[in-house]
């Protein structure tokens, strides 16, 4: 893929639809309208990044795109996004608020793994699958409602809130909250 760097040092595909790589020094960024994809590892370990704004044209966030952005505080992923890669926001230890598209059907493996401050989050009702370790070590999440049409609930997910036995999900006090079909 042919790429170019803009005046701020962001690397894009030639057609400007894919944000390939962000400069290490980025701390706030508004992804321009017309961008459809944030590539795998595009912002990986950008330790200064505190805020990211996504365009309404965004369709995909790649594997590990924001992995290790420890100062990232909040994200609002627009409803236009159809796919989010595994580990996209893993190890974002400063992240306390996340909003996902209301049409998203899969929360991939380790999406928010080790986001130890994540407390403001609601699982979209459209989600059918929650991947393995998607919420590993998200110990500050307390009030979580599981979607009604859940087909897969990966291991080590919210184990401080739920337990799974025979494809039935229970609260720790034994109340049945969902079954996996």
| Nearest alpha-carbon partner for 133 in 104, 108, 168 | 108
pLDDT at 155: 66
CA distance between the termini of the chain: 41
Dihedral angle over CA of 160, 125, 130, 17, nearest 10: -130
pLDDT at 66: 98
Q: What is the mean pLDDT of residues 114-134?
A: 94
Note down the domain range covering 75.
Answer: 1-181
Q: What is the pLDDT of residues 80-110, one digit of tens each?
A: 999 999 999 999 999 999 999 999 999 999 9
CATH of the domain at 101: 3.80.10.10
Residue length, the chain?
A: 181
Query: In total, how many domains does the chain have?
Result: 1
Confidence of residue 170 (pLDDT cuts 50, 70, 90): confident
For the entire predicted model, the pTM comes to: 0.93
Q: What is the CA radius of gyration of the chain?
A: 17
Residue 132: how many CB atoms within 10 A of its CB?
16
pLDDT at 133: 93
Q: What is the pLDDT of residues 18-61, one digit of tens each?
A: 999 999 999 999 999 999 999 999 999 999 999 999 999 999 99
């Amino acid at each position: 893929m042919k790429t170019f760097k803009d005046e701020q040092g962001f690397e894009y595909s030639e057609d400007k639809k894919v944000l390939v790589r962000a400069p290490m020094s980025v701390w706030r960024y508004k992804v321009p309208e017309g961008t459809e994809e944030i590539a795998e590892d595009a912002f990986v370990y950008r330790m200064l990044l505190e805020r990211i704004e996504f365009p309404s044209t965004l369709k995909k966030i790649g594997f590990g795109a924001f992995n290790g952005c420890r100062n990232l505080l909040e994200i609002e992923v627009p409803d236009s996004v159809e796919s989010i890669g595994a580990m996209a926001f893993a190890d974002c230890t400063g992240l306390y608020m996340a909003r996902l598209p209301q049409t998203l059907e899969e929360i991939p493996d380790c999406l928010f793994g080790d986001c130890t401050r994540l407390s403001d989050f609601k699982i979209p009702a459209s989600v059918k699958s929650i991947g393995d370790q998607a919420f590993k070590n998200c110990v500050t999440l307390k009030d979580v409602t599981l979607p009604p049409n859940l087909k897969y609930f990966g291991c080590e997910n919210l184990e401080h809130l739920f337990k799974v036995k025979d494809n039935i999900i229970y609260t720790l006090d034994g109340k049945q909250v969902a079954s996996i079909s």
